Structure 1
């Protein structure tokens, strides 16, 4: 990551936060009454938003009012990529983002978004609650100046389209599909002949409504809460990529607090993220049902064909990420699902 003053100034200006009370230069004395900002890109009502408010509630309680967390949903102060950059500089205090987005600065972190890497929810839990999760937390802190407070599993991704049902990779040829600004997702959909279009989540509904794009992929919850069933016709349970959404904090912000307040933040995050993961798993079937009541669904697309078609993405990833990227893949594949 380039940590020059020019980039730091750019990130601050981009967010309109040149001088934040929650940013740099805050003394321990000031920490007696601090208001910190939490940014995420999802809509109010999404379980990430619920978890954000739960985290804010717990932090206020466990810090005995010393820390207040304000939640800004829907990319109000930063989109997915902007938030990931801003938390590295400390111009946003907390952000929910994924490792695929962090791969824009450290290519090896894109391993989490590799197609068909995770065997299921239990495998995700075993990986991130074990040694891999601890090693990854240390690595991100060292390389990007942020601390992973909790690893969230937002579910496996499905595809909603407006033109035709998706049963196999050939059905996506030429389809303009929205993807986040995650290099691996762009590559994954290029590999099946689609036209991946990186776009902020807040723009997707209108883009589908006006025909700028033909399709969108996301976990069922994201599609349902975002109202994508109103602007698409078909839904396919491809489960092509597992979606991580993790709560990060700037190292600079954390280091400005006493050890006791740091522990209050970490304990609050653990509770909020654990609750998020449990609720997401419980709600997955309900969100799929909600979508399927409005859309024509393909329950069992040819996942083996998708896995084969997207396999070249793994080689592309290791070519870019080198031994570091391959090392993370090896660690994950060595972890058995419980």
Structure 2
């Protein structure tokens, strides 16, 4: 198996751009092309940002410069929820989002973020490549005016805390833990006895540094690239929720493209997201090791205790979705 890295990803993107130049594409033709905007909430060094630039290079290559993609990282245009809203109304062309966020508008979609739903990354990928992924895409298009271009696996979430080591749910009692503005995360950390505190990712570092919050949870890469190890003292590999991060397009933006341009965008997205998934899975352990080297780390907390404490979240979220989440859960669990 070939080793995947950011360097490989960046080289591939650069090669695409260089290829256009070598083909003798006139500069003026590129200048007259249409520029589309892509927003995401993660740091510029995050693999999502690298994948975004790779996607942009491929779009430019496959459309002969008729389309280009300008990438706005780190919430420059919008945060996680605001970016999804912007894509729905067409003020942003592409955005990386997750199903937990989309559950703000379609509650059953929150099933993807249920604690301990997925056995591992391979299981999650198999789910997204099954009819479940196709059905989710149809629901997104029909209800939210979003087109799913590719489903990404950003890894299982771990915890970083300022002063308290985390081994079991009781260790979280009373701690202010930053969570996304997503119902399932708020429910989960309430059940664990913490004080879940929704907050934009860009505010987390300072909030930890100043003691406004006591901890944060995220995939290892997000924590390390966000330099959270500089303002925390402990890490715990709880793996409590699998994080999806999906490249979606505004349906309005896609409808405004020619059939050939739409096909080019979809092909570019498939390549970029597949490469993202390869890199994300291969690098997940590496980033945990980086965190563990910088912090007092617990690689094997009592996950059974966390799993048991979070069982009521499934019932609560399904009830909030009027029982419509259960069928999705059953389908996921049936995927081998």
TM-score in terms of structure 1 length: 0.89
Paired position in structure 2 for 1:46: 46
Paired position in structure 2 for 1:175: 175
Q: Give the SS at the match of 1:324.
A: coil
Paired position in structure 2 for 1:89: 89
Task: Point out 4+ residue stretches in structure 1 off by more than 3 angstroms.
Answer: none
Distance in 2 between residues matched to 1:127 and 1:235, nearest whole Å: 29
Distance in 2 between residues matched to 1:46 and 1:62, nearest whole Å: 25
Gaps of 5+ in 1: 1-31
Distance in 1 between residues matched to 2:215 and 2:113, nearest whole Å: 19
Distance in 2 between residues matched to 1:325 and 1:286, nearest whole Å: 34
Paired position in structure 1 for 2:15: none
Distance in 2 between residues matched to 1:273 and 1:108, nearest whole Å: 24
Q: Give the SS at the match of 2:76.
A: coil
TM-score in terms of structure 2 length: 0.90
Q: How does 1:139-288 map to 2 (within 5 A)?
A: 139-288=139-288
Once the two structures are TM-superposed, the CA of residue 257 in structure 1 deviates from its matched residue by 1.0
Distance in 2 between residues matched to 1:322 and 1:137, nearest whole Å: 21
Residue 298 (structure 2) pairs with residue 293 (structure 1):
no
Once the two structures are TM-superposed, the CA of residue 133 in structure 1 deviates from its matched residue by 0.7
Once the two structures are TM-superposed, the CA of residue 105 in structure 1 deviates from its matched residue by 0.8
Distance in 2 between residues matched to 1:54 and 1:75, nearest whole Å: 19
The alignment covers a number of residue pairs equal to 305
Q: Give the SS at the match of 1:142.
A: helix
Paired position in structure 2 for 1:5: none
Distance in 2 between residues matched to 1:102 and 1:136, nearest whole Å: 11
Q: Deviations over 1:45-67 (max 9, x none)?
A: 10000000000000000011110
Once the two structures are TM-superposed, the CA of residue 324 in structure 1 deviates from its matched residue by 2.6
Q: Deviations over 1:283-306 (max 9, x none)?
A: 111111111111001111010110
Q: Give the SS at the match of 2:197.
A: strand
Q: Give the SS at the match of 1:314.
A: helix
Q: Deviations over 1:297-324 (max 9, x none)?
A: 1111010110110111001111011243
Distance in 1 between residues matched to 2:77 and 2:306, nearest whole Å: 36
Distance in 2 between residues matched to 1:227 and 1:88, nearest whole Å: 32
Distance in 1 between residues matched to 2:263 and 2:331, nearest whole Å: 29
Distance in 1 between residues matched to 2:120 and 2:265, nearest whole Å: 29
Q: Deviations over 1:128-171 (max 9, x none)?
A: 01111111111111110100100000000000001211000000
Distance in 2 between residues matched to 1:83 and 1:224, nearest whole Å: 23
Q: Give the SS at the match of 1:293.
A: helix
Paired position in structure 2 for 1:60: 60
Once the two structures are TM-superposed, the CA of residue 121 in structure 1 deviates from its matched residue by 0.6
Q: Give the SS at the match of 2:96.
A: strand
Q: Give the SS at the match of 2:158.
A: strand
Q: Give the SS at the match of 1:164.
A: coil
Gaps of 5+ in 2: 1-31
Q: Give the SS at the match of 1:138.
A: helix
